Amino acid sequence: MILAAGDVTDFLSINLTTIIASWLNLLILFLVLKHFLFDKVNKVLEDRKNEVAETYKRADEAEENAKKLEDDYRERLSGAKEESAQIIQAATKKAQQRSDEIIAEAKTEAKGITENARAEIEREKKIAVNKIKDDITDIAFSAAQAVIEKDLTSEDNEKLIAEFIDSVGEA
Amino acid sequence: MSDKAFVLGCSAIGAGLAMIAGIGPGIGEGYAVGKTIESIARQPEAQGDCTRTMFIGVAMAESTGIYSFVVALILMFANPFIKRLG
Amino acid sequence: MDDIGAGPKVVFEIGSIVITETVVMGWLIVAVVTLLCLWLTRGLKKVPDSKRQVVAEMFVKFVNDMVKKNMGEKLMGYSPYIGALLISAVLGALISMVGLRSMTADINVTAAWALLTFVLITFHKIKANGFVGYLKSFAQPVAFILPLNLISELATPASMAFRLFGNVAGGMVITGLLYGALGTASEALHLHFAFGQWAFSALQVGIPAVLSIYFDLFSGCIQAYIFSMLTMVNVGAAAEE
């Protein structure tokens, strides 16, 4: 059957041209959709997915970092506390030691000073005693001279005086 | 009665008889829809899935009716027996 | 009655090659879809700021999800093909709403698509099992079941083609019948007005539109979805074996 423009085909006629044209149309549509829609949109979707994943990854990393930092700080803080306690302890110990030392030194010094003072006192005492002895000697001498207007030999005199002094000293 | 008229009349009767096949899909679709409503009543949260699956199933069940309809159409509009008459 | 059960009209012929309405509709759809794609994908951004991009992404995601669910991650390359099938079938049915002839109301188109599906199924079966394994699979589980297996293998594309064709063409015929019946009813009720060449039937306004919405919009979309779904499921199953 030869058909011309405007003719109507049968309801269920097989037309090879239509079949092939349908295949070609579908192929063209497939290529059009692939190149102009699916490839482009898929790329955008993929980009967005990657970006979201990237953002999440970054956020996770930041969180992890912050956590690590926090841990670090906490550790350091506790370390510092310990250290400070140690330092305080050490300082206390040192101060104690130092104070002990100082006290000991002071004690020693005080002892030395006391000793010195005592020695001085002893010496002064001795000097004083000697001086008193001399003075007494002089007084006794003059007194004796005055009392005993007698001429004695110097030797006798001295001896007498010494006896006198000794008796005075013993008294 | 001419041969052509006889063939045409018989074709029309045949087309009518072919459409009896519409009973099958009718029953099947009704059953499918009923079951879908049952399952939606039991699990309302699965309504979307149920409805979608039901539509596909109903359209599938309808195809037997469609085949008979195509046969009826062929008998009415593209009658192969008329051409055989020559 | 003459134009109700008619096939597609011949638009023009080149020698013995006859170009029917169907083919022209196909070209129209391809042109529209191409322009639509170019318009939708203009200025795609990572952060969508236009409705165009949202629509494009929705469609692509819809098809991608469908393909992933039914065919698996390995056959994601088929998603543009499934998208093309879906768009062709939907627009092919919907085009009748603007008064043109449905593209899928031509058995040649649906048969061509179904044959393509059949070729894909066979290709994947041979790829998965080897040629010998493919031939052997017809004699499984017992040898005498071979004719049944053959018939069921051929029934898949045939039923797909006739399902889509039958729905759309049936809708077309029923709408046509109703249109004719309403015209006759209008004449009988003296609601038919003729002004020279112009004829107008009061009942033909509005009522066929309801039917058209069911057959073209609802049935057309559902059948398009089912056609692509069956293609996906069958090809996916063939590739898995």
What is the pLDDT confidence band of residue C39, given thresholds at 50, 70 and 90?
Answer: confident
Question: Which chains are adjacent to chain C, needing at least 3 Cβ pairs under 8 Å?
Answer: A, B
Instruction: Give CA separation, B67 vs C112, C128, C217, in Å.
Output: 18, 32, 21
Distance linking the first and last C-alpha atoms of chain A: 181
Mutate to test the interface with A, among C3, C38, C39, C41 (most CBs of A within 10 A): C41
- pTM of the complete model: 0.71
Is A1 touching C (CB cutoff 8 A)?
Answer: no
Burial class (CB in 10 A: 0-12, 13-18, 19+), A44: buried
Between A49-53, A63-67, C20-24, the lowest mean confidence (pLDDT) is in C20-24
How is chain A split into domains, by residue range? Answer: 15-170
User: How far is C-alpha C20 from the geometric centre of its chain's CA atoms?
Assistant: 17
Average pLDDT over chain A reads: 83
Instruction: Give CA separation, A10 vs A13, B3, C2, in Å.
Output: 5, 22, 11
Residue C120 has pLDDT above 60, yes or no: yes
User: How far is C-alpha C233 from the geometric centre of its chain's CA atoms?
Assistant: 17
pLDDT in tens, C123-169: 998 988 888 888 888 887 788 888 888 888 888 888 888 888 888 88
Distance linking the first and last C-alpha atoms of chain C: 50
Burial class (CB in 10 A: 0-12, 13-18, 19+), C178: middle
- C198 phi and psi, to 5 degrees? -80, 135
Q: Looking at residues C102-118, what average pLDDT do you find? A: 89
**Within a 13 Å sphere around the CA of A24, how many CA atoms are in the beta-carbon half?**
11
Is B55 touching C (CB cutoff 8 A)?
Answer: yes
What is the pLDDT confidence band of residue C1, given thresholds at 50, 70 and 90?
Answer: very low
Nearest CA in chain B to C5: B77
Residue A171 has pLDDT above 60, yes or no: no
User: How far is C-alpha A89 from the geometric centre of its chain's CA atoms?
Assistant: 12
Instruction: Give CA separation, B19 vs B35, B63, C2, C5, C73, in Å.
Output: 26, 13, 21, 17, 43
Residue B73 has pLDDT above 50, yes or no: yes
pLDDT in tens, A90-123: 988 998 898 888 899 889 988 888 888 888 888 8
Tell me how far apart the alpha carbons of residues A39 and C80 are, in angstroms, rounded to a whole number. Answer: 9
What is the pLDDT confidence band of residue A4, given thresholds at 50, 70 and 90?
Answer: low
Q: What's the confidence (pLDDT) of residue B38? A: 94
Cβ within 8 Å, pair A4-C19: no
pLDDT in tens, B11-51: 999 999 998 988 999 999 999 999 999 999 999 998 888 88
Domains of chain B: 8-81 (1.20.20.10)
Nearest CA in chain B to C2: B77
pLDDT in tens, C10-38: 877 777 788 888 888 888 899 999 998 88
Give the three-class secondary structure for A121. Answer: helix
